[in-house]
Amino acid sequence: MNNRYDFLFLFDAQDANPNGDPDAGNLPRIDAESGQGLVTDVCLKRKIRNFIEQTTGHKIYFKEFAVHNNQHEEAYKALDLGDPAKATRAEKDKAREWMCQNFFDVRTFGAVMSTKINCGQVRGPVQISFARSIDPVVASEHAITRTSVTDVKDIEKERTMGRKFTIPYGLYKAHGFVNPFLAAQTGFSNKDLELLFTALENAFQFDQSAARPAGSMNPRALIVFKHDSQLGNAPSHKLFELVSVKKKESVEVPRAFADYEVTIDRGGLPSGVEIIERI
């Protein structure tokens, strides 16, 4: 990979819970001081991993019910490295390279694999920030009833009550970065980069659930800054500042993406940087 990349990702949520907090009863994550909604980087990476696993033949390291030592053992067996407990530094390095070659998310996001069966550590070339809503959001609480019971002894009980949380609307912004030097170390290729962007464009297409019904979460913009060198031609923050996302003056309470204006200051674009609008 001969280019550095920075990217800005906009997505929205309407009558959905974009990222519940298990430590707060699954309430949508909210900045307590500003009231802005939050979606963690881990959540966004999970969307990418799920899309890659469901739609391509790529293997995923961090997935549900994965046993990492068993995955590490695959590397030792494939390379005929012998007993992992007696592995040398060179053998661990070979195992690490095998994991990068065979697991998309390892060579993309990195992984700590220095467990009982040691495959070392990988620092991934792709990093994604927390997403933060442009404006404050308010969590709505909805009471729901349960008409069935788990055990026959409870059949005579009254219907039990539950809670469901959503936000009426929120437009979220996240930032990302692709380090070409680390990409060379992990084997992250231009083909992988294209697949990453495709996954972001379709991040919510196969992620529907009761908390995120079909059409309730949508990608709205993926703006990529491509540098003409590996080192880059401008700091990331200066490029992100060229993109303005503001609520329209006539809108008091936003409830749709159409209530916002997204503008790019192309006149301030540094030399050697190209803007690619994927969405």
Residue 162: its pLDDT value, please? 75
Q: What are phi and psi of 156, to 5 degrees?
A: -85, -5
Instruction: Determine the pLDDT at residue 145.
Output: 80
Poorest-pLDDT segment among 64-78, 126-140, 207-221: 207-221
| Cross-strand pairs, 28 | 20
* pLDDT tens digit sequence for 235-263: 999 999 999 999 999 999 999 999 999 99
Q: What pLDDT is attached to residue 158?
A: 65
The C-alpha atoms of residue 111 and residue 93 are separated, in whole angstroms, by 14
The pLDDT, as a whole number, for residue 143 is 81
Say if residue 213's pLDDT is above 90.
Answer: no
22 DSSP 8-state letter: G
Question: How is residue 245 written in tokens?
Answer: 């996302």
pLDDT tens-digit map of 92-113: 999 999 999 999 999 999 999 9
What pLDDT score does 18 carry? Answer: 95
pLDDT > 90 in the chain, percent: 84
Q: Is the pLDDT of residue 160 over 90?
A: no
Question: Quick one: which of 15, 17, 57, 56 has its CA closest to 38?
Answer: 17
pLDDT in tens, 10-48: 999 999 999 999 998 899 999 999 999 999 999 999 999
Per-residue CA distances from 203 to 49, 54, 156, 239 (Å): 9, 12, 43, 24
Q: Please tell me which residue, 245 or 212, carries the higher pLDDT value.
A: 245
- Domain ranges, ordered by start, for the chain: 5-56+125-277
Nearest Cα to Cα of residue 201 among 21, 63, 17, 55: 55
